[in-house]
Amino acid sequence: MRRDVAEQTQLAIWKIEESSHWFRSQLMLDDRENVLIDSIRHPQRKLHWLSSRLLIRTLLGNPATFIHLESDERGKPVVHNFPVTISISHSFELSALLMSEKNNVGVDIEKIDPKIERIRNKFLHEEELNSISEGHRLEQLYVYWCAKEAMYKWYGRRQLEFRENLFLNPFHYTSQGTISGIIRKDEFEKELSISFEELGNYMMAYTLAK
């Protein structure tokens, strides 16, 4: 799946069905990246890494050049030789990428699992918990989780607590929609619009803003 979600901003999702050998054959990697890939022992983590790099190359139009991608000091992935900002997320067989030439971005995708109930009090404050409807309880929990992850990635500076610094307004659940939220951290405050979408047994959320 690939779509424009705003001006000069694209979202893409890859369903991983290929082998790591196939992904490597499609990429232009340097020695550092090859060493890094070889050091990843978990097969799924290796496929996540490779598929996200191929998504970047695809959205950049498959340039005939090396794409210099490294994480900054806060762990945020940065493309150093193209004028874009990116956010990456993986969950089981899916990889997601949000890329923009105009905005800072954040994306998260998660496979829906009832186990999220165990940690709901760790990432939701009381008003958010009370707003969840029993009819779509699990889906709403994942919208809240994915939206807060997307906000966290948009912020890009870590040191945010999901309960204490990320706030989402109550919403009525549909399989696709938009909610609003606020990041508050010390003197910093930013209101964001977060889009979410149920994709089979996955939930995805993303945000973009200057």
For the cut 90, the answer to whether the pLDDT of residue 42 exceeds it is yes
pTM of this prediction? 0.96
Shared-domain flag, residues 10 and 58: yes
DSSP 8-state assignment for residue 135: G
Cα 96 from Cα 109, distance rounded (Å): 7
For the cut 90, the answer to whether the pLDDT of residue 158 exceeds it is no
How high is the pLDDT of residue 89? 98
Shared-domain flag, residues 78 and 134: no
Query: Is residue 75 very low, low, confident or very high in pLDDT (cuts 50, 70, 90)?
Result: confident
Question: Alpha carbon 45 to chain centroid distance?
Answer: 15
Provide the residue type at 171 as one letter. F
How high is the pLDDT of residue 73? 87
Question: Each residue of 139-155: pLDDT tens digit?
Answer: 999 999 999 999 999 99
Q: Identify the domain boundary among 50, 75, 101.
A: 101
Shared-domain flag, residues 12 and 72: yes
Shared-domain flag, residues 82 and 123: no
Average pLDDT over residues 46-56: 98
Question: Each residue of 82-99: pLDDT tens digit?
Answer: 999 999 999 999 999 999
Q: Identify the domain boundary among 101, 133, 167.
A: 101
Average pLDDT over residues 46-61: 97
The first and second tokens of residue 145, run together, are 């989780």
Shared-domain flag, residues 150 and 201: yes
- How many structural domains is the chain composed of? 2
Could you tell me if 205 and 193 are in contact, meaning their C-beta atoms sit under 8 angstroms apart?
A: no
Could you tell me if 195 and 204 are in contact, meaning their C-beta atoms sit under 8 angstroms apart?
A: no
| CATH number (domain holding residue 69) | 3.90.470.20
How high is the pLDDT of residue 74? 87
Query: Is residue 132 very low, low, confident or very high in pLDDT (cuts 50, 70, 90)?
Result: very high
Average pLDDT over residues 46-71: 96
The first and second tokens of residue 189, run together, are 């405050």
What rounded mean pLDDT belongs to the chain? 96
Shared-domain flag, residues 35 and 112: no
Shared-domain flag, residues 125 and 189: yes
For the cut 90, the answer to whether the pLDDT of residue 27 exceeds it is yes
Average pLDDT over residues 114-134: 95
Shared-domain flag, residues 91 and 112: no
Q: Identify the domain boundary among 101, 130, 160.
A: 101
Shared-domain flag, residues 97 and 177: no
Shared-domain flag, residues 94 and 25: yes
Sign (positive or negative) of CA dihedral 48, 54, 57, 63: positive
Domain boundaries, position 128 = 108-209
Shared-domain flag, residues 82 and 117: no
How high is the pLDDT of residue 197? 98
Shared-domain flag, residues 62 and 134: no
